[in-house]
Amino acid sequence: MLQLDDSQIHLWHVQQADFDTAELAAQCLDWLTPAELTRYHRYYFDRHRKQFLLGRMLMRSVLTQYGEVTPQHWRFVENPYGKPSIDPSQRSQPLFFNLSHSADRLVLAISRHEAIGVDIECSDKSRRVLKIAHRYFSTAEVNELEALPHASQLARFYELWTLKEAYIKACGLGLAIPLRQFSFGFVADSRITISFAREREDAPQSWQFWQLQLNAPFALSVAVKCDRCEIHQLHSFELKGLQSFESVKTVILRN
């Protein structure tokens, strides 16, 4: 069983190419609940079915590394905004997670703190970044984005977007939180700051954020709310099979 204390976050990575679709279905399809199985069969494209099944396999097989529940017996509940968590009856100690996927990559964050969020985005997709920023970002974020050279704006857009997604996912409220109500800044390219509009009623000192380096073209951000402690370590693992994983280096770009 893996050890995870209050000062750590574990990040689990999966690449779809490492798993065969037919083999994955044969081994893991019966892990799904009836509701999950219905959702699985609703997907029209094979790649979407595979991604969904990989996500459920990742959640169940990884959580088993920290508890005594077998993968097929984990039960999950969702809050009113759709954020899943472990059924409280199966938690002998605090254990929380958040899942994100983009293109062929999936990332699962594991923490002892309930407010945990992670977001990964394929960052080479061309976007009308200023138009999107004016619609969703704070005034300060838009101004900083516009001040950058054009060649740097796409990368900064994804840095901001993944941070914002990680925060709202950690809060468990999704886009019920207007993205303009909080603002990220970058200090000397190595520090992340956050400020909140008055109506958000949140405190910067309660939060920690990280941006991690992944192989191009992905951007990855993590958020956790930890009022009475501090996260000192982020450990990363790559899942290679249902029971096969390896530790990988965690490279922090900003925190």
- Position 227 pLDDT exceeds 90: no
Secondary structure (DSSP) of 216-251: TTEEEEEEEE-TT----EEEEEEE-SSS-EEEE---
Fold held by 8-254: Ribosomal Protein L22; Chain A (3.90.470)
How many Å from the N-terminal Cα to the C-terminal Cα in the chain?
29
Sheet containing strand 252-254, edge to edge, reads 116-122, 218-225, 207-213, 252-254
Peptide bond before residue 204 is cis, with ω within 30 degrees of 0: no
| Domain locations along the chain | 8-254
> How many other C-beta atoms lie within 10 A of the C-beta of residue 38?
10
**36-58 tens-digit pLDDT:** 999 999 998 999 999 999 999 99
Q: How far apart are CA 214 and CA 190, in angstroms?
A: 16
What is residue 184's predicted lDDT score, i.e. its pLDDT? Answer: 96
Contact 245, 238 (CB under 8 A): yes
**154-193 tens-digit pLDDT:** 999 999 999 999 999 999 988 889 999 999 998 877 799 9
CA distances, 202 to each of 10, 198, 230 (Å): 25, 8, 17
Confidence at 63, pLDDT banded by 50, 70, 90: very high
Is the pTM for the entire model greater than 0.85? yes
CA angle 131/213/47 to nearest 5° reads 70
Q: How much of the chain is in helix, strand and coil states, percent to nearest 5?
A: 40, 30, 30
Q: How far apart are CA 5 and CA 159, in angstroms?
A: 28
